[in-house]
Structure 1
Amino acid sequence: MMKLNVKNETSRLRAVVLGTAESNGPTPSIEEAYDPKSLEHIKAGTYPSEEDMVSEMESVAEVFNKYDVKVYRPNIIKDCNQIFSRDIGFVIDDVFIKANILPDREEELDAIQYIIDQIDADKVMRPPVEAHIEGGDVIVWNDHIFIGTYRGSDYSDYIVARTNKAGVDFIAEKFPNKKVKSFNLRKSQTNAMDNALHLDCCFQPIGKDKAILHKNGFLEEEEYLWLVDFFGKDNIFEITKEEMYHMNSNVFSISENVIISEKNFTRLNSWLRENGFTVEEVPYAEIAKQEGLLRCSTLPLIRD
């Protein structure tokens, strides 16, 4: 049996599910686009090729190998986008939570069932059907769980709103020993610059006490200010609207001092190095065109 352990975002990583871009299927039609950024690239004819995305994901797998991390990959489903493994499940402490995702992505969960089968069945849970929650909205930080949501009454009109109040309540009820704090995120179906698809698109803790943050991703200023206060102004790297659009907050920590980042994030990467982090740069700009980056395509199972 595999014993899961994820208590925060930055402890030393030992095992992870890395998505796959193999057999990713043809470029989606405009109607099939799940988010404004993919839509933009479908219209412009710049949607990423499978070959480029496979090679980008391999560069991440190589970094994991270098750090001796056990890497699991989903079983390949023909013509299915299986890049974003974070959407389909997440681990809190020693519990695996299957996400309630968009219904036509259900088979993505089947493709990692062989991994879930290695976990004690008592430690696998699934929220009730009315509770929507995706891994990109859930950030585990020691005794806190931060959750991105959308509280608008028009929630059901937004395909880019992925976690509802029932999802937040489910986590709070299952993890009574944690402080659950939710954040109302800005959503846009049409403008990727104004869309925080998940919480990790505008916020992520790094190291022991630092964070990457984007103010405009939050609908309520006091919730943004709560995070500034929690981490302390001097410990925050505030990203611009354009940097959020390029997914600068969606890096991935292998440990408290090692971060995988996109090689074009020049301002962020130099700040990280100035603050004592080792930055493993990878090319990930093609995958970013689908409004997801390194955190979105990884699902940590075990951290020390």
Structure 2
Amino acid sequence: MAAGLAALLDDIAALARIAAASVDDIGGAAGRAGAKAAGVIVDDAAVTPRYVTGVDPSRELPMIRTIAIGSLRNKLLFIVPAILLLSIFVPWLLTPILMLGGCYLSYEGAHKVLEWLGVGHDASHDAPAVERGPEAEKKVTSGAIRTDFILSAEIMVIALNEVSEEPLLSRAIILVVVALGITALIYGAVALIVKMDDIGLGLAQREGEGAQRFGRGLVAAMPIVLRTLTIVGVVAMLWVGGHILLVGMDDLGFHPIYEFVHHAEEVVAGLVPAIAGVLAWLTNTFFSAVLGLAVGLALVGVVSLLPIGKKHDDHAGAEAH
């Protein structure tokens, strides 16, 4: 009995040491996986503040909390288990699924670029949460959670793709860490953005001249911050979507575009060896964004020809009218 207990304790201690040693690896892998999803994260943070525009200020943070809880539920109860099962039984599906997500990002990015140009403006994308009452609030938060599901799925598939070679348990832990960290990051940033004008107003009402000046500057800067965040989000969608498609096509056996971009990276990087890495990254990012925009514009054209696309545009036009 004593020998068996001692052996068990030794095994537990060994497992603890292994777990402790792997914490850094899991943390590093989770960080890399989250970084790869940066474009979708920026877009998620850019989209969410629209859902609480126009509501009672006292309801902004509760609504964001509700959306954040729904987002976490999406990731932990549905998305992570589903993509882990896919990675076990049909791992070859992950690249096509990832590319579908890249097409979605490219489509959304191109759609917003066209809206900036005044082509095919979709009023439903800009509809603020101006309605009042519990039912209206529930409707708005439910819509935000559904939109978040798509973005969250893309984030988690990108994360899984980065750690697909890890053991199953490590994959699961990394994805849970990414889900928790990304959700906290996105909705913490959203809460700060949404309440920034209130913080500025509070500072502007203080007695100190410095605090008042800073508060007024904060209030004046918020529209610029939101516009900048929207632009960065669209560029990030096109870049990430295009890069996913670029790498995915190469993985599936279609190499010409990837080889062209890789050759362009080498040529540009050779111009200034001191910053070769930066130039190569910028080159890849540029061509990824161009590919994302091209694919996105093509998809916008295809969707506009479909019955559901025409119905959606007619509905958006009626709302705008």
Q: TM-score, normalised by structure 1?
A: 0.23
Structure whose CA Rg is larger: 2
- Greater helix share, structure number: 2
Higher normalized contact order (CA 8 Å, seq sep 6+, divided by chain length): 2
Q: TM-score, normalised by structure 2?
A: 0.22
